[in-house]
Structure 1
Amino acid sequence: MDTPVTFPLPPDLPQPVDDGAARHLTGMRLPELQLPCTDGSQVALNLLAGRTVIYIYPMTGRPGVALPEGWDAIPGARGCTPQSCAFRDHHGALRQHGTRVFGLSTQDSAYQREARERLHLPFELLSDQALQFGTALRLPGFVAGGMALHKRLTLVLEDACIVKVFYPVFPPDGNAQEVLGWLRTRA
């Protein structure tokens, strides 16, 4: 197995602001829908038992494929790969807190599978390509390069109910540590 690499963020990224678009999420139960997973299964979100972290990100880049024009100028867009790598690197500590992890984007499962393998992620990614999850929860989003994308946020669930929302998430590579800090206050 190759040594996982990290992806540093440029120092001058624009910081997203809290526009209030995620305030309604705390206390919501996840909808009765299934999302495709990188392991080929379908995950019934409303049946997730115990504690789950779902970090939601716009899109991961792919080597040799250009990101949408102006990507780095969109507050909160850049940093999906560093965020995923941080959740990878903190996965053991998250598991010690009895927490399951999923990443979620609007990319299809085949695209996500390549990223999962390339980045050596020890957890699965969920595809909201049809925007079912985003629509049901009224997630904040944006359009770039003709694609509908979710803004970056992280949900902590207990028995499929949202108990904590991290939004906006910045810097993205610090999100896993921020989630761990919050979980430690709940122990």
Structure 2
Amino acid sequence: MGLKIGDKIPDFTAKDAAGNDFDSQSVIGVKPLVIYFYPKDNTSGCTAQACSFRDQYEDFKDLGAEVIGISSDSVASHQKFTRQFQLPFILLSDHDKKIRKLFGVPSRLFGILPGRVTYVADKTGTIIMIFDNISATQHIPKALEVIKKLH
């Protein structure tokens, strides 16, 4: 059973694209969050999603929100992905899938493909939207719409 609307974002740590330790406590309770789980770096849908978040990142920042992308790819893969597409937001390596399990992100395609789910949390870390949809580019306008309502 995964996280639901009204739940708090759980504490977690992971390596970011630069290989630094990221602690969720550094942002939970500080600013609204958009945390999106995606299947894999450098695949067409995931690249489209990351680039859409990139293109709208200033809109999220202007509203005080932080965007965090999470997949099971390695730090090296994230580093390359970030550089190649100039991604300005945090990408975290969930190589052991602990964060995905913590959130309860479902798998797709008979459990073969990691799910694509976006969580939006308010400044207190309370989840106010969960968007579970394989369509990569639909996540960005949905998340932005919810963040705008917080203002």
TM-score range, shorter chain: 0.7 to 0.9
**Superposed, which structure 2 residues align to 1:27-46 within 5 Å?**
27-46=6-25
1:38, CA displacement in angstroms? Answer: 0.9
1:29-83, CA deviations, whole angstroms, 9 ceiling, x for partnerless residues? 2333211111222222244222111111000227xxxxxxxxxxxxxxx510000
Letter in 1 for 2:127: I
Q: Which of 8, 33, 42 matches 1:61? A: 42
Query: SS at the partner of 2:148?
Result: helix
TM-score if structure 1 supplies the norm length?
A: 0.70
CA RMSD of aligned residues (A): 2.0
Unaligned runs of at least 5 residues, structure 1: 1-20, 63-77
Query: SS at the partner of 1:104?
Result: strand
Q: Which of 44, 47, 52 matches 1:86? A: 52
Determine the C-alpha separation between the residues in 2 that align with 1:138 and 1:175.
Answer: 18
Moved more, 46-55 or 99-108: 46-55
In the alignment, does 2:148 pair up with 1:184? yes
| Contact 1:34 1:43 survives alignment (8 Å) | yes
Determine the C-alpha separation between the residues in 1 that align with 2:38 and 2:133.
Answer: 11
1:125, CA displacement in angstroms? Answer: 0.3
Larger radius of gyration: 1
Letter in 1 for 2:144: L
1:112-145, CA deviations, whole angstroms, 9 ceiling, x for partnerless residues? 110010001111201111111112222112454x
Determine the C-alpha separation between the residues in 1 that align with 2:10 and 2:76.
Answer: 24
Moved more, 127-136 or 44-53: 44-53
Moved more, 36-45 or 105-114: 36-45
In the alignment, does 2:139 pair up with 1:175? yes
Q: Percent identity?
A: 25
Equivalent pairs counted in the alignment come to 146
Letter in 2 for 1:36: K
1:104, CA displacement in angstroms? Answer: 0.7
Q: Which structure shows the bigger proportion of residues in helix conformation?
A: 2
**Superposed, which structure 2 residues align to 1:79-118 within 5 Å?**
79-118=45-84
1:126-172, CA deviations, whole angstroms, 9 ceiling, x for partnerless residues? 1111111112222112454xxxx5300111122333221111252x1
Letter in 1 for 2:17: T
Query: SS at the partner of 1:90?
Result: helix
Q: Which of 24, 31, 46 matches 1:50? A: 31
